[in-house]
Amino acid sequence: MFARRLTVIKRVLQAVNTESVRFCHSRPQLTQFIDMKIQLLPALEDNYMYLLIDEETKQCAAVDPVEPEKVLKAVEDAGVTLTSVLTTHHHWDHAGGNEKLIDLTKKRGLNVKVFGGDDRIGALSNKVKHGDKFNIGSLDIECLFTPCHTSGHICYYVTSSKGDQPAVFTGDTLFMAGCGKFFEGSPDQMYKALVEILAKLPLNTRVFCGHEYTVNNLKFAAHVEPSSDEVKTKLAWATAQRSKGLTTIPSTIEDELKFNPFMRVKESNVQAHVGKKDPVETMGALRAEKDNFRG
């Protein structure tokens, strides 16, 4: 299924020049913090790329820049300098633009570093592991190793010395109201990623994920917890957003703990839905059910 979807995407990109595409699944969106900006850039069928911009130094990083020309245009429009690429995982629809982006930036005299946790990532220059830290300008980046969707998946947690609201780029580990498929991992690994790592971040951490899957995810959440007012309210909001071509991103860790069934596997009503009492077994059963869920 995944390989088939990527083949379709590749054919579409081969058939058109991405700079001339007039339709995109969502409108770009800028999220303003105190010390940073995060520019959301829609890509492909339902992907999201991001520019992480440090306000103090005007340096920026591109997150999963699968459409490099679009990213470089956004960099130019923002008047900032691209210094880094943060790659969450090796799948083509996230890392597939790395080589071209590096080639284009080298021609412009830039030395852009590519961070990631998997040797399968194209143009990788800086391999990272859990707990590694580095900077984008004055912003602090911490690498969170979250294997399961892929064995080398990394989330990037962003903070500033001035105490700005934190952010985390979660790729295909954590979506709004959902999580990624367990292509190269186990329920235990996703439990650790979601419950023991990401859920422990500050509640106000803004979550920037890799795909626009929110409406379908919330429909599944409503199936799991049909009496949840949190889910009903969020689904109505997300449906309205998508009807206007607007993104549903970002979320927050606090919100995910309220309506994301995969982060609520300790809750008795979620466990009862799948007939399990163990949270890891609940995680596995939920994922198996979601894989066949059609809304």
One DSSP character per residue, 29-47 reads EEEE-SSEEEEEEEETTTE
Active site residue 77: no
**Across the 295 residues of the chain, what is the mean pLDDT of every consecutive 10-residue run?**
53 40 76 95 98 98 98 98 99 98 98 99 99 98 99 98 92 99 99 99 98 98 98 98 97 99 99 98 99 91
Q: Which two tokens stand for residue 198?
A: 């990401």
Residue in 35, 54, 118, 211 annotated catalytic: 211
Is 46 an active-site residue? no
- 64, 90, 149, 255: which one is catalytic? 149
The DSSP letter of residue 196 is I
Per-residue confidence (pLDDT) for residue 19, from 0 to 100:
37
The pLDDT score that the predictor gives to residue 7 is 55
Told to judge if 273 belongs to the known catalytic residues of this protein, a careful annotator would answer: no
Residues whose CB is less than 8 angstroms from the CB of residue 190 and which lie 6 or more positions away in sequence, other chains included: 148, 149, 173, 179, 182, 262, 283, 287
d(CA 174, CA 146): 10
Instruction: In whole angstroms, give the CA distance from residue 183 to residue 199.
Output: 22
| 172 catalytically annotated | yes
Task: Verify whether residue 103 is a known catalytic residue.
Answer: no
pLDDT at 164: 84
CA atoms of 1 and 98, how far apart (whole Å): 24
pTM, to two decimals: 0.92
Find residue 251's DSSP bridge partners. Answer: 207
CB neighbour class for 31 (10 Å; exposed up to 12, middle 13-18, buried from 19)? middle
Give Cα 189 to chain centroid, integer Å: 17
Cis check: omega of the bond before 250, within 30 degrees of 0: yes
Tokens of 43: 């890509």
Q: Give the pLDDT score at 37.
A: 97
> Would you call 223 a catalytic residue per the annotation?
no
Going from the N-terminus, what domains does the chain have, and what CATH number goes with each?
Answer: 25-291 (3.60.15.10)
